[in-house]
Amino acid sequence: MQTKRAVVPGREGQMSIKLNVLDHVMVPDHQVMSADEVQALLERYSITFEQLPKIYHDDAAVKQIGGKVGDVIRVIRQSQTAGIAEAYRLVIRRPKK
């Protein structure tokens, strides 16, 4: 599979290559969910916002789709056994070391 690359200015006039990670065959589809979709998800599974699995704000896929802290991301994977599997992640800030 051919991945899309863009040449962008780097540091001190150097050029660097920016890769769209979502174009890679091993990276599942990521989507930012609307507030209505999130509310329906929480009601469907009888969970609270804080009980959702987490994903860091600096994850390459989250950055690529423009996800922000507090957003909920839908991850859609192709599965040999389930066909299509959806997972949901709450975007959080990575703790400082």
Q: Is the confidence at residue 10, as pLDDT, over 80?
A: no
CA 85 to chain centre: 15
Q: Is the confidence at residue 6, as pLDDT, over 60?
A: no
Q: Which two tokens stand for residue 63?
A: 């950055």
22-47 tens-digit pLDDT = 777 777 889 999 999 999 999 999 99
Domains of the chain, with CATH numbers? 27-92 (3.90.940.20)
In this prediction, residue 3 has a pLDDT band, given cuts at 50, 70 and 90, of: very low
Asked whether 61 and 89 are in contact (CB, 8 A), the reply is: no
Q: Is the confidence at residue 60, as pLDDT, over 60?
A: yes
In three-state secondary structure terms, 71 is coil
**CA atoms of 37 and 32, how far apart (whole Å):** 10
Please tell me the predicted confidence (pLDDT) of residue 13. 59
Residue 84, strand partner residues:
78
